[in-house]
Structure 1
């Protein structure tokens, strides 16, 4: 049905730009790309994330803070300092706004080597951009929904990025197993990783933050890595060498 296809396309395309461009590229610089491709992925990120678009620059700063202060009271989104996932993400939103508008002194030490497109990032964070995308989602449902319950999916479209963040940051630091002792609460939440494109290998990633493949064991499949590998082979990006991990 059109609604299910639209929802899944929005979920996974938005997720891909978040994990590929904002996380692995902007925050960690696991690979390089030309100015042309950087602009192309900026546009793709805006188009796929829509009403929940986050500035790649601000995202990168926020995420670097997360790694530096993982699961301490200075972590922007540790689940161990909030009573529930909604409060955690509201706290994250507040810190993100401070980082976005350069009000955060804590974020300044994590700058450097950041992608930026001020015009697009400013436009994408305006209320009228978010409202416009919200209206587009509503109109799509009005035209293609076949049952009333399908409209219950609309709030997820409006806050798609926040939904991804809540699953990854709450689940990935509370539930699952650990391959490494990272001196934090990061976990690999494998049963739910089909929802997050590899992002729930949090324990692996916190141990090896420069490694493009978040899976470490033979049976840990990072769904985003084959795409990265392919783009590297096609010359769209250039992967950097990173520390290998051996886990028995």
Structure 2
């Protein structure tokens, strides 16, 4: 039972920082937050993703590229230009590493207006950090696993961030229904996206890239939206007015 609880907690905590901080805040700036909270969520992202920590800067640049070049050959992670999810993940990793390590210069429209904490980025990308977190996961399993098959979950812990991205980009651009014609292959895969925290409403998101609630129809449930609404009410974040986010969407896409 401890292993399953640990897996679920790691899955959803890592998922939350990816959709809330990396995606909706870093890439799209759907809301603002004070410097203290920006640092706090930055650190939480490192802790939650652990061995698969993703730099907010590199994530934001790749995601803005994804919107601009959706399902074309220039898309960093379109399933329609890869044979399978693994080759798509590898392609994304190569582009991500080039951006992260400044081996390529991103287009000006994709650069800037994202949180940067060089110290955490530098630590998070080292093998020392990845091995530390991987060892922590393994030791937890050694102490609490009761069945051999539980160890099969370890690779997901090691690659939690990329696994979430692969599910969203593969499924969200291949399977499901469309509310809008976006001139791409984005789709909504679930009516209640409990699996990826709203990220599988890809068709809605590509049409309305700065709408905070990824659900559009009344029956489309984005479970991250109530959390964001609550954080706004608690003054931890501040949602941007609709007109301001509309202007941002044109600039980001």
1:241, CA displacement in angstroms?
A: 2.2
1:192, CA displacement in angstroms?
A: 7.7
Residue 28 (structure 2) pairs with residue 39 (structure 1): no
| Contact map agreement 1:192 1:200 (CA 8 A) in 2 | no
Structure 1 equivalent of residue 251 of structure 2 = none
TM-score by structure 2 length?
Answer: 0.94
CA-to-aligned-CA distance 1:32-56 (integer Å, 9 cap, x gap): 0000000000110000000000001
- In structure 2, C-alpha distance between the alignment counterparts of 1:226 and 1:31, rounded to whole Å: 14
Residue 76 (structure 2) pairs with residue 76 (structure 1): yes
For the residue of structure 1 that corresponds to 2:166, the secondary structure is helix
- In structure 1, C-alpha distance between the alignment counterparts of 2:70 and 2:126, rounded to whole Å: 30
Structure 2 equivalent of residue 113 of structure 1 = 113
For the residue of structure 2 that corresponds to 1:212, the secondary structure is coil
Query: Equivalent residues in 2 for 1:57-136 (5 A)?
Result: 57-136=57-136
Q: CA RMSD in A?
A: 1.3
- In structure 2, C-alpha distance between the alignment counterparts of 1:152 and 1:122, rounded to whole Å: 30
1:109, CA displacement in angstroms?
A: 3.8
1:186, CA displacement in angstroms?
A: 0.3
- Structure 1 stretches lacking a partner, 5+ long: none
- In structure 2, C-alpha distance between the alignment counterparts of 1:210 and 1:94, rounded to whole Å: 27
- In structure 2, C-alpha distance between the alignment counterparts of 1:4 and 1:36, rounded to whole Å: 33
- In structure 1, C-alpha distance between the alignment counterparts of 2:91 and 2:102, rounded to whole Å: 17
Structure 1 residue ranges (4+ consecutive) displaced by more than 4 angstroms after TM superposition: none
- Structure 2 stretches lacking a partner, 5+ long: 246-253
TM-score by structure 1 length?
Answer: 0.96
For the residue of structure 2 that corresponds to 1:238, the secondary structure is strand
- In structure 1, C-alpha distance between the alignment counterparts of 2:21 and 2:106, rounded to whole Å: 23
Structure 2 equivalent of residue 231 of structure 1 = 231
Moved more, 102-111 or 49-58: 102-111
CA-to-aligned-CA distance 1:191-227 (integer Å, 9 cap, x gap): 6832100000000000001110000000000000000
| Contact map agreement 2:70 2:78 (CA 8 A) in 1 | yes
- In structure 2, C-alpha distance between the alignment counterparts of 1:45 and 1:121, rounded to whole Å: 11
- In structure 2, C-alpha distance between the alignment counterparts of 1:93 and 1:235, rounded to whole Å: 36
CA-to-aligned-CA distance 1:7-61 (integer Å, 9 cap, x gap): 0000000000000000000000000000000000011000000000000111001
Count of residue pairs brought into register by the alignment? 244
Structure 1 equivalent of residue 55 of structure 2 = 55
Query: Equivalent residues in 2 for 1:163-178 (5 A)?
Result: 163-178=163-178
CA-to-aligned-CA distance 1:73-103 (integer Å, 9 cap, x gap): 0000000000000000100000000010111
For the residue of structure 1 that corresponds to 2:238, the secondary structure is strand
Q: Given the superposition, is the C-alpha separation of residues 236 and 192 from structure 1 closer, same or farther in structure 2, using an over 3 Å criterion?
A: closer
| Contact map agreement 2:16 2:224 (CA 8 A) in 1 | yes
Residue 10 (structure 2) pairs with residue 10 (structure 1): yes
- In structure 2, C-alpha distance between the alignment counterparts of 1:18 and 1:242, rounded to whole Å: 23
For the residue of structure 1 that corresponds to 2:73, the secondary structure is coil
| Contact map agreement 2:193 2:221 (CA 8 A) in 1 | no
